[in-house]
Structure formats: C-alpha cells, structure tokens
Amino acid sequence: MIHSKKIELINQTAEMQKKAAEIHKEGMTIGLVPTMGYFHQGHLSLMKASKEETDYVVVSLFVNPTQFGPSEDFNRYPRDLRRDMELAKNAGVDMIFCPTIDEMYPSGFLTYVKVESLGEKLCGANRPGHFQGVTTVVCKLFNIISPDFAYFGQKDAQQAIIIKKMVEDLNLRINIRVLPIVREKDGLAMSSRNVYLSGSEHKAALCIYKAIQKVEMLFNKGERESKVLMDQAEAIIKDEPLATLEYMAICHIEDLSPLEKIKNRALMALAVKIGKTRLIDNTILKID
Ligand code: PAF
C-alpha cells in the first residue's frame, strides 16, 4: 500500500520534544525506529512493525559520529535524505527526525551512557567506544522523542541486547522490539554498508550466511560443542579469499559470555571483512 499522507520533517530537538508531548496529550502512542538512514528492507520492516503497533511513527535519521572510530567510515557512510523520505512516506511513517550534529552534540557536551562489560565484547572488542556512542545517542533519542515502543533489528544482535539492558538499568519506560534479520534473496543480511561491495565482493560475502547455515544445520542434527560448530564455520570463511574473519562467537544470549557447550539457546555471531567492508551477521541456536 502506498501512503499519500504528507510526512513531517523536524531537525530541532526542542521542536521534536514539543511535538512528542502534543502527540501523547492526544492519547496516542509513539513508535520510534532509530536509524542512520539509507533505508533498506530491514529498516522498512521495523517501520511496518511500528505502524501496526503504534499510533504515530517517528523515524530518526542521524549518522551518529560518536559510534564511529577515527579510522571508520563516518564520512563515506551512505546518505540520501530525499530517497529515505520517499521510502518512509510510502511505509506510512508520520515523521522523520533528522537533527544536525550540533543539535545532538552542542559544544560543551560531556555526558555519555555506557553499559559496562557487554559493550566490550564481540564487536566492542574491535570497535572501542562504539557501543557507548550507540547507547548515548539512543538514550538521547528516547528522551527527545519519548517513544512508547522502539524498534531494532536482530542483525545488530549485540546492540539490541545492550539497549535492552540500558532500558532495564535506567528504568526507561520503553518497550523494545527486536525484529528478524531481513536478507537479500541470496542470503546476504541487509545492511546500508552493502552498497560498498563490488559485484565480486558481494558474491564473496555470501560465505557469511553459508557459515551460519552450516552451523544451523549441524546444530539441528544434534551437535552442541561450540568449537566443533565454529571450526566448520571458520573453514567456510577461510576458504573465501576476499574474506577476513574478525571474530566468531557462540555465546549466552543475554550476557554474551562464551559457551563451550550449548544447552538450550545460544547466539552465534560473527564479523567478517570483505575487502575493506566490515559486515556482521548472526543466528540464534535453540532447541525447540
Ligand atoms: O543501528 C543503527 O543504525 C544505529 O546504531 C542506531 C541504533 C540508529 C544508533 O545510531
């Protein structure tokens, strides 16, 4: 269904806070989809879920500098506000909140939100400060937009776990929804960073999903030893000349501690560099 209603754009935090208060005053619930833009089907699935569950859908679009390391891709991260506005409008989104960097981090900004220990594992071990940047900006967005529900993708499994912990620890009255990974037809998990991949790199990146599928298949056949599962998956990544494994883990789905043997459930997560592009993916292994 194509939505013809106009979509609103707000750039200023004070105006957004005022608007959110008005919406609540009218008795409506607010759903927030926090994004860094350059929408793909994964983002659209979050907007759809919010549309179904909440009265008013806000999508924040902000390429957050504090979650990028100095040698990471902040400057070249894909941006296209016009295209994103059109996609969000067609998804039935009511408002885009697109603040400037100065609006979010005015000079003299000193306060950060950090979820200890969880943010240093897996991706955090290779991206110091990344999750502190994420939790700081998400906490600010929660305070600016006052959503009743906020929607995140399972592709960023560690991010979702950390945000849930922040919400619990800081007594934030927000329901966090985590929606399934959306994949291309060939299995590659959707990511705004997929645009960096050349044709041959895209093909090479399929080794990531192949490794996941191998682990799922062995797990479903009864294999429970993490080392056995990961050795098989690593072999698939190592077989791909354009791929470099950054990390692979089978761990507890809440505290992310490594599991030698899977009892009921586990998160299998990995980060792989294809050429210069860093991609992440994961699966939940569980006994039905
Ligand atoms: O997942 C993302 O796109 C970002 O990490 C988020 C949650 C929008 C915070 O900048």
Atom of ligand 1 nearest to the CA of 64: 10
Instruction: Place 228 in a pLDDT band, splitting at 50, 70 and 90.
Output: very high
Q: How many residues does the chain have?
A: 288
Q: How many C-beta atoms surround the C-beta of residue 31 within 10 A?
A: 27
Using most ligand atoms within 8 A of CB, pick from 77, 141, 159, 174 the residue to mutate for ligand 1: 159
pLDDT digits (tens, 9 = 90+) for 89-114: 999 999 999 999 999 999 999 999 99
Instruction: Give the E-state strand segments of the chain in sequence order.
Output: 8-10, 30-35, 56-61, 95-97, 149-153, 175-179, 243-251, 265-274, 277-286
158-169 residues labelled b (16+ CB within 10 A) or e (exposed): bbbbbbbbbbee
User: What is the share, in percent, of the chain residues with pLDDT greater than 90?
Assistant: 97
Q: Give 274's strand partners.
A: 243, 277
How close is the Cα of 285 to the center of ligand 1, in Å?
A: 25
Instruction: Check residue 286 and give its pLDDT.
Output: 97
Instruction: Check residue 2 and give its pLDDT.
Output: 61
Q: Is the dihedral of CA 270, 218, 261, 153 positive or negative?
A: positive
Q: For ligand 1, say whether the CB of 154 is within 6 Å of any of its atoms.
A: no
pLDDT digits (tens, 9 = 90+) for 12-62: 999 999 999 999 999 999 999 999 999 999 999 999 999 999 999 999 999
The separation between CA 80 and the C-alpha centre of its own chain, rounded to angstroms, equals 19
How close is the Cα of 39 to the center of ligand 1, in Å?
A: 12
How close is the Cα of 212 to the center of ligand 1, in Å?
A: 24
pLDDT digits (tens, 9 = 90+) for 167-205: 999 999 999 999 999 999 999 999 999 999 999 999 999
Instruction: Give the E-state strand segments of 11-162 in sequence order.
Output: 30-35, 56-61, 95-97, 149-153
Q: Residues with catalytic annotation?
A: 43
Instruction: Check residue 62 and give its pLDDT.
Output: 98
Looking at ligand 1, which residue's alpha carbon is closest to its atom 5?
Answer: 134
Q: For ligand 1, say whether the CB of 35 is within 6 Å of any of its atoms.
A: yes
Residues in CB range of 60: below 8 A, 6 or more apart: 32, 33, 34, 35, 96, 97, 98, 99, 141, 145
Residue/partner pairs of 202-206 with CB below 8 Å, 24 or more apart = 204/240, 204/241, 204/242, 204/243, 204/274, 205/243, 205/272, 205/274, 205/277, 205/279
The average confidence (pLDDT) of the chain is 97
Atom of ligand 1 nearest to the CA of 163: 7
Using most ligand atoms within 8 A of CB, pick from 33, 35, 177 the residue to mutate for ligand 1: 35
- Could you tell me which of 254, 60, 29, 227 has the C-alpha nearest to residue 147? 29
